């Protein structure tokens, strides 16, 4: 089934790393568009594939050095918000230090509280 996904990355090197790792014949790339912006903002990408699910793309993105922004923002085009999904990111990059995990959980909760207030 033809599906279009959107995601963002910290820089074009991350996008290149993703593109180098994706199996073009398995997923059937129909279209791949990258918007570079002004050079200071995140890079946005849109890819249309014949045979892929969001989890398939995440399994590729986790193999990209520093691919965490792509992994945590990728979604079907119609569901894309550009917001990072911190839960997904923690699933793929679990903290190795319990104290660090507790510290980050507190930060995430504070961020969520701030977002709900604003």
Along the chain (118 residues), what's the average pLDDT of each consecutive run of 10 residues? 94 92 90 82 91 95 92 97 91 77 80 63
pLDDT for position 40: 65
pLDDT for position 14: 92
CA–CA separation, 8 and 114 (whole Å): 23
pLDDT for position 20: 93
CA–CA separation, 67 and 82 (whole Å): 15
What tokens were used for 80?
Answer: 């894309």
pLDDT for position 67: 92
């Amino acid at each position: 089934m033809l599906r279009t996904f959107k995601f963002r990355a910290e820089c074009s090197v991350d996008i290149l790393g993703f593109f180098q790792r994706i199996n073009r014949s398995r997923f059937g790339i129909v279209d791949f568009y990258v918007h570079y912006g002004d050079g200071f903002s995140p890079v946005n990408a849109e890819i249309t594939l014949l045979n892929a699910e969001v989890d398939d793309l995440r399994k590729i993105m986790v193999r990209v050095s520093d691919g965490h922004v792509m992994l945590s923002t990728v979604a079907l085009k119609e569901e894309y918000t550009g917001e990072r999904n911190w839960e997904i990111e923690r699933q793929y990059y679990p903290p190795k230090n319990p104290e660090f995990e507790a510290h980050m959980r507190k930060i995430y909760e504070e961020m969520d509280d701030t977002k709900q207030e604003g």
